[in-house]
Amino acid sequence: MLTKKQHELICFIADRLAETGVSPSFEEMKDALDLKSKSGVHRLISALEERGFLRRLPNRARALEVVKMPERGDAKKPATKSNVVAMPRPAPQPANDVVEIPLHGRIAAGVPIEALEGSTMLPVPAALLGSGEHYALEVAGDSMVEAGIFDGDYALIRRQDTARDGEIVVALIEDMEATLKYFRTEGSMVRLDPANRSYDPQRYRPDQVRVQGRLAGLLRRY
Name the active-site residue from 5, 25, 30, 143: 143
Name the active-site residue from 68, 76, 181, 188: 181
| DSSP calls for 108-171 | -TT--GGGG--S-EEEEEGGG--SS-EEEEE--SSTTGGGT--TT-EEEEE--S---TT-EEEE
The contacts of residue 215 (CB under 8 Å, 6+ apart) are 155, 156, 157, 158, 167, 168, 169, 170, 180
Backbone angles phi, psi at 106, to 5 degrees: -80, 150
Is 181 a residue of the active site? yes
Count Cα atoms within 13 angstroms, Cβ side, for 196: 14
Give the residue from 56, 52, 64 showing the smallest Cα distance to 23: 64
| Contact assessment for residue 129 and residue 159, using Cβ atoms and an 8 Å cutoff | no
Count Cα atoms within 13 angstroms, Cβ side, for 13: 29
Is 81 a residue of the active site? no
Backbone angles phi, psi at 164, to 5 degrees: -105, 155
**Catalytic residue ranges:** 143, 181
